[in-house]
Amino acid sequence: MTEQPTKTQRQRDPRLDFFRGVAMLIIFIAHVPKNHWSNFIPARFGFSDAAEMFVFCSGFAAAIAFGGTFIKAGFWHGTGRVLYRIWQLYTAHILIFFLIAGLMLAGNTVFAEPDYISRLNLHFFFNETPEALLGLLTLTYVPNYFDIMPMYMGALLMIPVFMALANVHPWLAMSFSLAVYSLNWIFDGGLPAHPSHDHIEWFFNPLGWQLVFFTGYSISRGWLTPPPFNRALMAACIVFVIAAAPVSHWWFFVGYKESLPFLAEWRQAILPWRAKTDYGILRFIHFLALAYIVVNLVRGREHLLQHKVFHPIRTVGQQALPVFLLNMWLAQLGGIVLDQLGRSQTTWALVNLSGLAIVVLFAYLVTAIKKEWWRGAADANREKATVRKNADTPSGSALSPAE
């Protein structure tokens, strides 16, 4: 018997699952050390990269997960749910740090070279463990490879303030996000990432990256509406994306830095405006341009993303957090394999394809574990019992009032 959807069930947006899944797969490729395949990911051809996709989709999903709670259950219940999610992310962040640190230590123990602890700059943790451990637990020690989760937690922490302002008017909340972003740039804000070096900051500054997070959040809540298709705007977006490629791709830069010095000078001049740490505005504009192009290409064809051929990608997107954590560990394991086998087209293909396959299979495994299959079985058993009981009851056997 097919279960009919109820009015309270919300159909998943295939675009959210698909593009979050794409981001997860790209993130794996991007994090494998010295991976030749990473030369062909979108980040090499523009200012923005898979990080924007991940953060935007996370903001979009956060609005679905928490936005309604603030409205239906009240501010404090919504805040409690956000804080509980932050606690989950915090424990996941601590756990994945130790798992990867252990992997790097095992690499140094088993193999003579290279120095895997140095690869992730973890000597401070192993040499100054008490101070580093305290910094790890207080998020004042955040090595570069482990920085996106703290940024995500920082963005989530701002949701209660954002929703309180949205209760007055959504535009006030969105103005708050823009103001935080602007003030961060004006006053050069940042959060300490190393107990012994004040100048080292979180690589992903949440005061900057919250802009793309709350853009996704606001669109999901319906407070921001993407502009409709416009030929001139589409042309402008395409031109901007194409123009960004030559000053983003390192291969291009090496090729023209001598023959076309003005492009090299322009690339150098715009470095602060496409910086990743404080989230340069060119990254945001580039992401919006790409999003506008893609949304209009997909508009009216969303059903194509539900085709079975894309099911593995959507499944990865539906399990973004566990997949992301696996990506971080698996990418470093892939780097160890490449170090020991040597880097060639064959070994790159072996590590990348095997890693992507493991990521997809892991997403299916998590989905299967989360699926409450016993509920359907229990409902079916109850239905069979009811049918059997009715069949065993003779027709008209019930006593009438007259009897």
Distance, in Å, from the CA atom of 93 to the CA atom of 322, rounded to the nearest integer, reads: 11
- Model pLDDT, residue 112: 86
- Please tell me what DSSP assigns to residue 222: T
H/E run at residue 130: helix 129-137
How distant, in Å, are the alpha carbons of 52, 184, 391 from that of 394? 66, 78, 7
pTM of the model: 0.86
CA atoms within 13 A of residue 51's CA, in its CB half-sphere: 27
Cross-strand pairs, 201: 192
Distance, in Å, from the CA atom of 217 to the CA atom of 61, rounded to the nearest integer, reads: 7
H/E run at residue 66: none
Q: Is 222 left (phi over 0), alpha (psi -120 to 50) or beta?
A: left
Token digits of residue 383: 């239905």
CA atoms within 13 A of residue 306's CA, in its CB half-sphere: 8
Using the structure block, give the residue that is written with the tokens 């606690």.
87
H/E run at residue 193: none
How distant, in Å, are the alpha carbons of 13, 172, 207 from that of 66? 17, 19, 20
- Model pLDDT, residue 238: 96
Distance, in Å, from the CA atom of 97 to the CA atom of 328, rounded to the nearest integer, reads: 9
Distance, in Å, from the CA atom of 371 to the CA atom of 318, rounded to the nearest integer, reads: 12
Distance, in Å, from the CA atom of 97 to the CA atom of 143, rounded to the nearest integer, reads: 9
- Model pLDDT, residue 391: 61
How distant, in Å, are the alpha carbons of 67, 103, 110 from that of 126? 42, 13, 17
- Model pLDDT, residue 8: 42
Confirm if 17 and 317 have CB atoms less than 8 A apart: yes
Task: Find out whether the peptide bond into 170 is cis, omega within 30 degrees of 0.
Answer: no
CA atoms within 13 A of residue 198's CA, in its CB half-sphere: 1
With 0-12 CB in 10 A as exposed, 13-18 as middle and 19+ as buried, what is 326? buried
- Model pLDDT, residue 400: 40
- Please tell me what DSSP assigns to residue 344: S
Q: Residue-wise pLDDT tens for the chain (403 aa)?
A: 434 444 444 567 788 999 999 999 999 999 999 999 998 888 888 899 999 999 999 999 999 999 889 999 999 999 999 999 999 999 999 999 999 999 999 999 999 889 999 999 999 999 999 999 999 999 999 998 999 999 999 999 999 999 999 999 999 999 999 999 999 999 988 899 999 888 899 999 999 999 999 999 999 999 999 899 999 999 999 999 998 888 887 666 666 666 667 677 777 788 888 889 999 999 999 999 999 999 999 988 888 898 999 999 999 999 999 999 999 999 999 999 999 999 999 999 999 999 999 999 999 999 999 887 666 666 666 666 666 666 665 554 443 434 3
Query: CA nearest 182: which of 258, 284, 114, 281?
Result: 281
- Model pLDDT, residue 4: 42
Confirm if 189 and 207 have CB atoms less than 8 A apart: yes
Distance, in Å, from the CA atom of 17 to the CA atom of 314, rounded to the nearest integer, reads: 5
Count the helix, strand and coil residues of the chain and give each as a percent rounded to the nearest 5.
75, 0, 25
Distance, in Å, from the CA atom of 238 to the CA atom of 296, rounded to the nearest integer, reads: 12
Using the structure block, give the residue that is written with the tokens 């505005």.
281
Confirm if 226 and 287 have CB atoms less than 8 A apart: no
Token digits of residue 247: 């000053």
CA angle 133, 138, 140 (to 5 degrees): 85
Q: Give the DSSP per-residue string, 75-92.
A: HHHHHHHHHHHHHHHHHH
